[in-house]
Amino acid sequence: MTRKEFLKMAAAPTALAAMPGAAVGASLARSGAPAAQAPAGGAVTLENGHFSVSLSAGEGLGCRVTHLPTGTLLADGPYSYSLGPVRFTGLEHDGAGATLRGETGTGIAITHRIALDPGRPWMEEVVALTNASPNPLTIAFRCGFVLPVRPGTLKGHTFTAVPYRREPHGGRGQYADYTIDQILHEPRRSVLREIPIIVNETPRVVQPRVFTDDYLSEGWALTDGRNGFLVTKYSQSAREFAILDRVPVSGGLVGLRWGGAGAFDDAEGSYRLAPGATRVFGVTRLTAFRGDLVQGYYAFRGEMEARGHAIPDGYDPPSHWNELYDNGLWWCGDHISAENRGKFYRLADLREAAARARDMGCEALYLDPGWDTPQSSKIWGEERLGKLGDFVAMLKNEYGLKLSVHTPFEAWTGPGCDTIAGAELVREPGGSPSPYACGAATRYIDVTVGRLKTLADSGVVFFMFDGTAWMGECWARDHGHAHPSTAAEHVESLNRVARLAHRNNPDVLIEMHDQLFGGIHLRYVPSYYGHGVDAAGERGWDEIWAFELMWSPMDDLIGGHSIALYYFNLAYSIPAYIHIDLRKDNPQCLMLWWNISTCRHLGVGGTHSDEAVRRSQRDAIATYRRLKRFFTTGTFFGIDELTHVHVDRGRSGAVLNCFNLDDRPVEREIAFDPAAFGLDAGRAYAFTGGAFARSGGTYAGRVGIPGQGHTLVEVS
C-alpha cells in the first residue's frame, strides 16, 4: 500500500451496509467518589502510581499516557475516533477516572470512560455509542489511543499475541511475535481466525478464508524482557478482540493505534443502531508487568481468573476411555446408517470398551458417535443398548466407571440424521429447507435442552458439544431469530444451551467446541466466551476443546502444533479437554504425558499393538491418577516450552514434566526456584526423578530425558 492509498483509506467514511452486530452487555465502570463537572474544553490528569493519563476534551480528545516507573510513553496526541470529528460537551472526573461525553456531526453520541485502579497497575476504558438521530445507522467503528512512532519508539519491545503465540496450525518455527514496524507496515499472516465464506450449495458448506490480515488477539503482551504491558479486550456479550493498527498523525508520521474498541475482519465488526439505541463495547485494560512475555501471560491469566475463569472448587474430571479408536463403526465409512450401528455399536461392543477402560485405569467410558438414534438426536439407542439407567448402573457396578457422551449439534445433522422437526431446518432465502438444523431456532434449543436433561438425569456426567459449526444464515420467520439469522445468534444459542443444561443439572461437565467453526484448529470466538458464571448467576460451559489435536497426536507434538497447548495453559486456567489415540504413542509415552501435562481433562483410547507399550501406558495413567490433583486443579507454570511445572492448590509440592521432542537423548539443566512457583522458599524440598542441589533459594538439577521421551520429576 502506498502512502497515498493509506491516507485515503484512513479518511474514508465508515458507514457500511452490514449485518447487525450483537449488543454488548458491558457497563461503564464508575467510582462511588463525588464527581466534578468540567466544561467543554476541560482537562484532567489521572494517576495511580503506575500510569499517568492526561486528558484534554473539547474539539476532540487529547491524550497522553505514561508509565511512571519507566517513563515509557504509550500514547501522545489526539485519541482516534473513526467516526470523524468528535465535539466533547462534558467531562466528569472522580477519584478513579473520568467520563467524557461527546457527539459527532452524524448523529452519534459517545460516552467514554477512562479509569485507573488506585491499588493495581491497571488502566481501563469503556466506550459506548448512542444513535441520537431519528434514522437507523450502520457503522464500522474503530477507536483507540495513538502513539506516534519515531526512531527508537518502544525500542526492543516485542508484541506477542495472547494466548495463541503458537497457533494450533503452527509448526515449530511459528510464533506470533511482532515488532512495531511489522504491525505498522506488514499485514499479519495468521490462520487462527479465518473468515467464513458461505458457499451456496446443498449441502451448505462454510469455507474459511486462507488468512486473516488483522493484528487482533484476546490480548497483546509487549515487553523488552524487563518491563512490559498487557493490552486486553473483554466482553461476555459480543465477540471482541484487542486490535493493533495504524493511523496517520501530524508531522508525516504513522501512529500505533491500540486499545479502544471496534471493527475487524468481518461483518460482525459493523454495528446497526436503531434510533435511541446504545452499543456498549467491552472493557479494554492496560496492565503493567515486570519481566518477559511469560510474565505477561501470567498477568493475562490472573486477569481472567479474577473475571471468573478459574478452576472451580470440586472440579474433578473423570479420565475418559474413548471407544471410537477401537470401534469399527467410525472407520467403516458410514457411521450414520442404522445398519452399521447395529453391526458395530451393540451392548457387547460397549462392554468390551468398558473392560479396556477399566484395565487402562480410566474413570469413565466416553461414547463417541453411535450411541444415539438417529445420529445427533441425543436419544439413547435403547433398542441396541438397553435402558440408559441400566447401562449406567452396569458401568458403575461391574467396571467402576462413569458415563460420558458425545452430543453433536446442527453441523452433525443432515441426511440420515435427526433434525428434530422440518420446521427447524435452515431455510434458504426463497424458503426452501437445507438438510441441516437451525441451531438458533427456539424449538431446537428447547428440545435439545430437554434431551440433555433426560441424559443427565439418568446419570451421564459429561457432554461434548461438538458439531457447533455455523451452517449459515437462516431466512425462516418463525424460528425466533433475526431475519436472516446471524453468526452471533448461532454463537449465543450454543452458550444458552450450556447455561440451560447447567440450570437443570449443575453437576454435569460441558465441553464446548468453537461456537462458530466447531472441532477444528481455528478459534473464531474468544477462548473465554460463554465460560463461567454470567451476570445473571448462570453457569456456562466448563471446558474448551483442545483444537482437534486428537487424530495424529504424535505428529502434532513432534511437528509443533501441540505447543499451542503450552501457551494456552500459561494464559488460562480454563480446562482444556482432549482425547488421543494411544495407538500412535511410543514406548516412552511421550504423547500421553504431553496431554496429561497440558489438558486438565484427559481422554484416551485406542489399543496399542505392543503389549510393552500398553503396560507403559497403564503405568503412566496410574501415576497420573496418583498425582491427579497437580494436573487437574493445580497451577501451571512454564520453565520453557518443554519443561512444565504443576503446583497443587495446597502448595505442598510440585510436579515437573520434562519433554524431549528430538530423537536423541538429552540431559537438561533445570533451575527450580520455589518462590517463582508460589511455594514457600523457606522450606526444604526433595526431588525424585532428577539430581538437584540447593544453592541459595534455588535448586539446580540435571535431568536425563530419552529421545522423543519424557521424564517426571516430583518435588515434595
451: nearest Cα among 424, 423, 421, 420? 420
- Is domain 3-30+37-306 annotated with CATH 2.70.98? yes
91 with 100: CB under 8 angstroms?
Answer: yes
Cell of 149: 512512532
pLDDT tens digits for 25-58?
233 333 333 344 444 458 999 999 999 999 999 9
pLDDT at 272: 82
88: nearest Cα among 122, 69, 68, 114? 114
pLDDT at 510: 98
pLDDT at 680: 95
| E strand segments, 226-269 | 227-234, 242-249, 253-262
| Phi, psi angle pair for 417, to nearest 5° | -110, 165
Q: According to CATH, where is 2.70.98 located in the chain?
A: 3-30+37-306
| Phi, psi angle pair for 530, to nearest 5° | 90, -5
pLDDT at 1: 27
The burial class, CB within 10 Å (0-12 / 13-18 / 19+), for 682 is exposed
110: nearest Cα among 139, 80, 131, 133? 131
- CATH architecture of the domain 320-545 equals Alpha-Beta Barrel (3.20)
588: nearest Cα among 628, 564, 557? 557
677 with 637: CB under 8 angstroms?
Answer: yes
Q: According to CATH, where is 3.20.20.70 located in the chain?
A: 320-545
525: nearest Cα among 192, 300, 239? 239
Question: SS3 of 591, please?
Answer: helix
Low-confidence residues of the chain: pLDDT under 50: 1-40, 198, 200-206, 208-211, 267
Cell of 310: 478459574
User: Cα(143)–Cα(172) distance, rounded to whole angstroms?
Assistant: 35
* DSSP code string of 100-151: EEEEETTSEEEEEEEEE-SSSSEEEEEEEEEE-SSS-EEEE-EEEEEEE--T
The burial class, CB within 10 Å (0-12 / 13-18 / 19+), for 215 is buried
Report the alpha-carbon angle 371-319-304, nearest 5.
105
User: Cα(638)–Cα(715) distance, rounded to whole angstroms?
Assistant: 15
Name the residue type at position 365: L
Cell of 186: 506488514
- The dihedral formed by the CA atoms of 301, 302, 307 and 310, expressed in degrees to the nearest 10: 70
Under DSSP, the state recorded for 606 is -
Sheet holding 666-672, edge to edge: 666-672, 698-705, 691-695
Contacts of 660 (CB under 8 A, 6+ apart): 590, 642, 666, 668, 705, 706, 707, 708, 709, 710
Rg of the chain over Cα atoms, rounded to whole angstroms, equals: 27
pLDDT tens digits for 293-314?
999 999 999 999 999 999 999 9
User: Cα(254)–Cα(251) distance, rounded to whole angstroms?
Assistant: 9
User: Cα(621)–Cα(561) distance, rounded to whole angstroms?
Assistant: 23
444 with 424: CB under 8 angstroms?
Answer: yes
pLDDT at 269: 52
The burial class, CB within 10 Å (0-12 / 13-18 / 19+), for 575 is buried
Cell of 631: 494436573
| Phi, psi angle pair for 146, to nearest 5° | -125, 130
Cell of 289: 508487568
Contacts of 75 (CB under 8 A, 6+ apart): 63, 64, 65, 145, 146, 147, 258
- Give 206's strand partners: 198
